Amino acid sequence: MADRLENIRKFQTDVEQCMKCGFCGYFCPIYREERQEKGLARGKDQLIRFALVGEQPLSKGFYQAIDNCLLCRTCVAYCPAKTRIDHAVIAARGDYAAERGLPLAKRAVFRYLLPNRRLFGAALRLASWLQGFLPRGEGSFRHLPQFLSALGAGRTIPDIAPRFLRSILAESCPAAGGPRRRVGFFSGCATDYLFPELGRMIVDVLRNLDCEVVFDRRQGCCGAPVYLSGDFRTARKMAARNIDAFEGCDCVVTGCATCGSGLREYPTYLAETPEEKQRFERFAAKVKDFSALVVDLLAADLGRLAVKPSVRGKTVTWHDPCHLARYQDVRAQPRRILQALEGLRFVEMPDADRCCGLGGSFSITHYEVSRKIADHKVDAIAACGADAVVTACPGCMIQLRDALARRNAAVAVLHIGELFTIRPAAEPLGLR
């Protein structure tokens, strides 16, 4: 019989490393708003320890506590003992999902919508259409399930693109010059369905850096929302499909920080056998963030970066996505790009790496606290007087636009891939 806590036991060392000092309380975005011990890394660690010794059942209350986490890794960054509470929380979610099952709405989305790209696109269009009939502003719409209740509280989602990226972009986009490498482009859900123009811009930059770009349509969701919620079984199938899609590529680049970390962490949570772990590790080693790859390919020749006319003369600031800075240690590269763009003024915002409060589905299931966390980010953006805030995560873009709209702040939210082209210009992007 399988161990009912098999995932937690894999990370038992991480669980036991917490010293109970409570230092995480000063940094945890959720605790700073709610002031509840169960929202703190120390509190979650204690609940998981009690589960290990049989004193805490995997109850609904247990799930609510471990679900109330952004997985931003802020506590990990500042923990004196370097406790990996994120490992423990994700493992606990996995054991809960295996024993009790996830909420119905999440199960439906993860198992039936996300793997079926056509159906998922149709569902997004429907959600966008229905949102126009929901009440705006404060309060909630009591007949909506919790998973969707944030929409009734005024949570906005961006317009769904009239054409998805997978219906626009060719599966093979030749390099503008002689191809130096074969790069797989992993779009992720947001770029595919919400921001297809961003995907085209990223691919165009890569082509002008002499990369043959592969956009294999077998790719789907990165699986991070699924396994971070505890559904390891479904995520394992997604991982296998994505790895198959990019077999033979020198590297796999993504313009989504969450997708990047999601793909890179397949070996940590999803591997069941040594052979599978090795396969996941080989794939994870090939995953690169877009800004990091651009800096690597240009090396000292950042003068080839040309600012786009649409942002020339603007003052911009940078928001560090948690899944880029703390998960992938990509901090310097996007700043090097911004500083190298002539005609653009870059200013550093206070606490640029402070979590924006998105946390994937957290911003939907815990919208009230999510937007309180986002308000601090808006204050930081306002403090530096920027015309635009730039980031590298479509999810953060959605969260920041929502927060700025509530303040009626005239600040644009842009992806770093929207700011520049590569000199010399190449032939227009070949599309189907």
Per-residue pLDDT tens digits of the chain, which is 432 residues long: 357 899 999 999 999 999 999 999 999 999 999 999 988 999 999 999 999 888 777 898 999 999 999 999 999 999 999 999 999 999 999 999 999 998 888 888 899 888 888 888 888 777 667 655 544 443 333 333 444 444 445 566 677 888 899 999 999 999 988 778 999 999 999 999 999 999 999 999 999 999 999 999 999 999 999 999 999 999 999 999 999 999 999 999 999 999 999 999 999 999 999 999 999 999 999 999 999 999 999 987 899 999 999 999 999 999 999 999 999 999 999 999 999 999 999 999 999 999 999 998 888 888 899 999 999 999 999 999 999 999 999 999 999 999 999 899 999 999 999 999 998 744 444 444
Spatial separation of the C-alpha atoms in residues 66 and 372, rounded to whole Å:
20
Give the number of other CB atoms < 10 A from CB of residue 9. Answer: 14
Q: Which CATH class is domain 300-422?
A: alpha beta
- pTM exceeding 0.75: yes
Nearest to 220 by CA among 269, 166, 264: 166
Mark out the alpha helices in 271-361 (DSSP H runs).
Answer: 274-286, 290-298, 322-328, 332-340
DSSP β-ladder status, 345-346 and 315-318: parallel
Amino acid at 118: R
Spatial separation of the C-alpha atoms in residues 278 and 298, rounded to whole Å:
31
According to DSSP, residue 413 is labeled E
Nearest to 97 by CA among 5, 25, 201, 12: 5
| pLDDT value at residue 428 | 45
Q: What is the DSSP string of 128-139?
A: HHHHTTS--SSS
| pLDDT value at residue 381 | 97
* In the block, residue with structure tokens 């708003």: 33
| pLDDT value at residue 365 | 85
Q: Which two tokens stand for residue 69?
A: 């986490």
| pLDDT value at residue 4 | 80
| pLDDT value at residue 431 | 43
Q: What is the DSSP string of 142-207?
A: TTS-GGGHHHHTT---PPPPSS-GGGTB-SEE--SSS--EEEEEE-HHHHHHT-HHHHHHHHHHHH
User: Domain residues of the chain, as ranges?
Assistant: 6-100, 300-422
| pLDDT value at residue 141 | 35
Nearest to 417 by CA among 328, 314, 341: 341
| pLDDT value at residue 130 | 64
May I ask the CATH architecture of the domain 6-100? Orthogonal Bundle (1.10)
